[in-house]
Amino acid sequence: MAIREAFCEWIHQLQATICSALEEQDGKAGFREDRWERKEGGGGLTRILSGGTVFEKAGVNISEVHGLLPETLAQTLEAKDKRFFACGISLVIHPLSPLVPTVHANYRYFELYDPTGAVSDFWFGGGSDLTPCYLFEADGVHFHKTLKSVCDRFSDTWYPRFKKQCEEYFVNRHRGNEMRGIGGIFYDYLRPEPGISPKALLEFSMAAGGAFLESYLPIVEKRKGLPYGDQQIFWQEIRRGRYVEFNLIHDRGTLFGLKTGGRTESILMSLPPRARWEYHDAPVPGSEEARMLQYLKPRDWVSSSQPIPKTI
């Protein structure tokens, strides 16, 4: 089976697996499905959960689109050939509790074709990152160690490389280079390299996507029952505002989707149902909110020996 067909089959399977696990974890809400078509070519399946007891909003989308690259995007990619095919799975989960972190992940495959229809270039992209409003250091350690274990199966250079790329990408530069969360891994334009075949890249993407539930659900289990109040909800909405800013200003996936005629509802499913912007808001020095801000910068999670913050 060709890489394109194998990847497309896998994202359908992964979407079903993740949605089933999230429904079981929530215990109340279920996903509704919305199939859509893109007039330029292709389509997808958007699955949305809302109003749950654990997850306030969760979206798990798959898409397979094709056509011609817009000229501006072709220039950005420095692409000589304009005909493309792209497929992928993208998810964002916004929990109800401020003590359960938001999480994002996506895995995608891209092909370009020459005038004869032959593949002239291809690459993989993806990753997963965690965005807590309040930090329990053990959660960050677990998340990063899970991702590292996947990377290390293919190359011992990938985790530090992809972690750094994640820290450099998910940043609100207009907010003084404040990271959106505590990172994870992120890679793009990943092509074969010495010792890494196209098949290995496919297997890595599948392994990374397959580890998503292992990296996230244990954190949900530990934090979903903890008590919280209005102060924590207020802070959650402030941090969600930062999430919105990144997705609308900096995120390349959002911009790619909008510029290639993607489905706006599915593209913007990543936004939280509630967010807040307060003029010149700043947390009280010494508070748990102020402590959280200290983690929004590069950090060695897998060998961290700092004490775990107390439960709120």
Burial (CB count within 10 angstroms: exposed 0-12, middle 13-18, buried 19+), residue 87: buried
Structure tokens belonging to residue 239: 């941090």
CB-based contacts of 143, cutoff 8 Å, min separation 6: 130, 182, 184, 215, 216, 219, 301
Query: How open is the CA angle 30-34-36, to the nearest 5 degrees?
Result: 160
Q: Which residue matches tokens 């109003």?
A: 51
Give SS3 for 22: helix
Q: Which residue matches tokens 């990543």?
A: 270
Q: Could you give the CA distance from residue 276 to residue 244 in angstroms, rounded to a whole number?
A: 10
Is residue 104 part of the annotated active site? The answer reads: yes
For 215, half-sphere exposure in the C-beta direction (CA atoms, 13 angstrom radius) is 28
**Cβ contact 49:61 at 8 Å:** no
**Cβ contact 203:155 at 8 Å:** no
Query: Containing H/E element for 86?
Result: strand 83-95
Beta strand 178-179 with 171-172: parallel, antiparallel or unpaired? antiparallel
Residue 156 CA, distance from chain mean position: 22
Neighbours of 196 (CB within 10 A): 15
Q: Of the residues 104, 142, 174, 250, which is catalytic?
A: 104
Q: Could you give the CA distance from residue 107 to residue 256 in angstroms, rounded to a whole number?
A: 15
Query: What are 105's strand-pairing partners?
Result: 91, 128
Neighbours of 309 (CB within 10 A): 15
Residue numbers annotated as active site: 104
